[in-house]
Each structure stands twice: as C-alpha cells, then as structure tokens.
C-alpha cells in the first residue's frame, strides 16, 4: 500500500527562499524527474528503486518547475516536471509508472513518487487564477500558486474518495465489477465524497447508488487511507456492514455486476483465476485481505 511516511516535509521552511536555495545547492540534494506519468529507475523490478539525479545537473538555480519534497535524513529532495518533447522522445526503456512499480517501492520512494505526481498533476492543470484568469506565480518552493493581479493564493488540491468493502452478517463480502472491466475482475466499491458530506455518509450513499445494498450507517469503520495521485485523490478505506440475504441491483452505468463471496468461494475462484482482484499496490486489496484474514492468490495484472 502507498503512503507510509518516510520524508520530513519541512513545511516551515518552504517559504524561506534562502534556505530553499541552500537546499538546492547542497551537494547531497537530489531530484526525482517526472516524465509524463513515468520516472526513471536506478534498479529494476522486482525490487525497484527510483533514479534520483543530483540538482547540479539542472543548474545552480532551482528551475521554476522544481518543487521541494522534503528532507530524506539530511539530504534535500526535489521533484521536477519534464514535459518537453525531447524528454518524451528520449529512451523510455528504463522508465516506469507508479501503477507498474508502486507495490514494490520502499517507503521513501513510495512517498517521493506519489507526492511528485500529485503536486506535478496539480501544477500542470492549474496554471491560471480561477478568479481572474491571470497566470499565477509559484511560491513556497512549489506548494502555493499566487495570483499577481488579485493576490489570491491557491493550494494543491486533494480530492477525497471513499473505498469500501461491504460485509454481511454471514461474513460474506460484496465485490463489484465495473462496466469497463474484464469479466473476471472484481473489487471493492468506491466513489468521491461530495461537498457537504461526511466520508461515512458517502460510503452509505455510494453503496446504495452503485449496487442497491443498504448499509448500516453506524457500522462504517475506517481502516486506513492512501494517496492515489491519478490525478489527485486520497482513498479513504472502510469496512461497512449490511444485513444478510440482500440482493444486489448494479446501476449498469458504473457497476455491471455485484456478487457476495464467502471466504472459501473467493479463495477458490482467485486460485483458479476465475476471479481476479486488484494488485497489492491498492488499498482495495488491503481491505479485501483484512476481511479474508490472510493473503489471497493472484491479481488482475497477471
């Protein structure tokens, strides 16, 4: 799962231009470069590590598209977006995306890549002031954009989504198959939290909308969360409980099929490949295995 803390994010130093410049000039300083949605690897799978480049290779001055991620021990680490054509044309052979390598990264590299992607995606899509349309300037080492016309400040956004494994009173688990997925793929249900709504209310609403199952609002239990920068979400993970013997009514738009699985059935179907569940990078997998009690075989990447 993504999102275990490893980095000192030094929020208090981001506004100190001299300190940030000194971090950039530090011979230990490194940069993680994001090419589209991919990064370069220093060592390949099955134990991938990210390739971090000395800041000196990008010049003595910090480029405007480089942002301070934090300190790894004493060493400053920056993220940098490279969307140039030459970057796209360069050898992409040793590049990988978060989806490909995320499950096997160590905690530090996991935090570096999820933060770089989330912040990079925000900078790419928020170049202008939402009030007046003027181009904004980047401040606080990449963590704020300010409008020079009306002085408004704009912060990187994170969109909360809920993801839930519904369990009935016979301990069966409810998994759904999206309309866009292979016939064998099943996972937990998920959806965005709406403005003015609690995460728990979003769980009850989403399960009702997507598959027509009634969840007991008092039973919704938070299990953990993970950043999901595709492009800018955080997934809040829950178990929720429901009366047994409820039929399902998939909405047909997002969910094509929803089924209740006993532990024995899910183990048998995952073993035979008749059912495939999400890979280990995902909180969905964590929610399913937390209910099952141990690891399950296979996933839909294979």
Residue 232 CB, shortest distance to Zn ion, in Å, is: 21
Tokens found for residue 239: 């178990």
Residue 134 CB, shortest distance to Zn ion, in Å, is: 5
Closest CA to 282 of 90, 78, 54, 98: 98
**Cβ neighbour number for residue 293 with a 10 Å cutoff:** 8
Query: Which value, in Å, is the radius of gyration of the alpha carbons in the chain?
Result: 22
* Cα–Cα dist 204/177, whole Å: 18
Residue 128 CB, shortest distance to Zn ion, in Å, is: 8
Pick between residue 45 and residue 149 the one whose CB is nearest to Zn ion: 149
Residue 116 CB, shortest distance to Zn ion, in Å, is: 27
* Cα–Cα dist 156/163, whole Å: 22
Pick between residue 42 and residue 134 the one whose CB is nearest to Zn ion: 134
Pick between residue 151 and residue 295 the one whose CB is nearest to Zn ion: 151
Name residues contacting Zn ion, limited to 114-143 (CB under 5 A): 129, 131-132, 134
Residue 139 CB, shortest distance to Zn ion, in Å, is: 14
**Cβ neighbour number for residue 223 with a 10 Å cutoff:** 16
At 271, give phi and psi (nearest 5°).
Answer: -65, -40
Q: Which residues pair with 144 in a beta bridge?
A: 139
Residue 136 CB, shortest distance to Zn ion, in Å, is: 7
Q: Is 150 in the site for Zn ion (CB under 5 A)?
A: yes
Pick between residue 4 and residue 157 the one whose CB is nearest to Zn ion: 157
Q: Which residues pair with 255 in a beta bridge?
A: 178
Q: Is 145 in the site for Zn ion (CB under 5 A)?
A: no
Residue recorded with tokens 């039929």: 247
Pick between residue 46 and residue 133 the one whose CB is nearest to Zn ion: 133
Pick between residue 90 and residue 137 the one whose CB is nearest to Zn ion: 137
**Looking at 45, 149, 153, 244, which residue binds Zn ion (CB under 5 A)?**
149
Pick between residue 90 and residue 149 the one whose CB is nearest to Zn ion: 149
Q: Is 153 in the site for Zn ion (CB under 5 A)?
A: no
Pick between residue 144 and residue 256 the one whose CB is nearest to Zn ion: 144
At 193, give phi and psi (nearest 5°).
Answer: -75, 130
For the chain, the residue count is: 302
Q: How far are the Cα atoms of 49, 76, 142, 147 from residue 104, in angstroms, in the given order? A: 9, 23, 28, 40
Contact 190, 165 (CB under 8 A): no
How far is residue 173 CA from its own chain's centroid? 24
Q: How far are the Cα atoms of 88, 104, 110, 262 from residue 48, in angstroms, in the given order? A: 22, 7, 11, 35
Residue 62 CB, shortest distance to Zn ion, in Å, is: 25
Tokens found for residue 119: 């912040």
**Looking at 33, 39, 147, 164, which residue binds Zn ion (CB under 5 A)?**
147
Residue ranges in contact with Zn ion by CB under 5 A: 129, 131-132, 134, 147, 149-150
């Amino acid at each position: 799962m993504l999102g275990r803390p490893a980095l000192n994010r030094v929020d208090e130093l981001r506004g100190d231009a001299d300190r940030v410049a000194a971090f950039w000039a530090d011979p230990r300083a490194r940069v993680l470069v994001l090419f589209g949605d991919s990064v370069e690897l220093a060592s390949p799978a099955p134990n991938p590590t990210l390739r971090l480049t000395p800041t000196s290779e990008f010049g003595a001055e910090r480029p405007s598209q480089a942002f301070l991620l934090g300190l790894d021990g004493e060493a400053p680490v920056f993220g940098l977006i490279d969307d140039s054509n030459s970057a796209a044309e360069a050898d992409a052979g040793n590049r990988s995306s978060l989806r490909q390598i995320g499950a096997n990264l160590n905690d530090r590299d996991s935090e570096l890549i999820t933060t770089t992607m989330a912040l990079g995606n925000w900078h790419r899509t928020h170049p202008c002031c939402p009030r007046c349309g003027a181009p904004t300037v980047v401040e606080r080492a990449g963590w704020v954009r300010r409008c020079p016309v009306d002085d408004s400040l704009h912060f990187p956004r994170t969109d909360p989504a809920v993801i839930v494994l519904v369990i009935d009173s016979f301990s069966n688990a409810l998994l759904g198959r999206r309309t866009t997925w292979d016939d064998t793929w099943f996972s937990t249900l998920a959806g965005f939290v709406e403005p003015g709504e609690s995460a728990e209310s979003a769980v009850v609403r989403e399960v009702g909308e997507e598959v027509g199952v009634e969840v007991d609002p008092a039973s919704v239990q938070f299990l953990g969360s993970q950043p999901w920068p595709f492009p800018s979400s955080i997934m809040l993970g829950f178990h929720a409980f429901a009366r047994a013997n409820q039929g399902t009514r998939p909405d047909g738009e997002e969910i094509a099929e929803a089924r209740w699985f006993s532990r024995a059935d899910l183990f048998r179907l995952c073993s035979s490949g008749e059912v495939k569940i999400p890979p280990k990078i995902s909180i969905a997998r964590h929610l399913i295995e937390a209910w099952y009690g141990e690891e399950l075989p296979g996933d839909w990447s294979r």
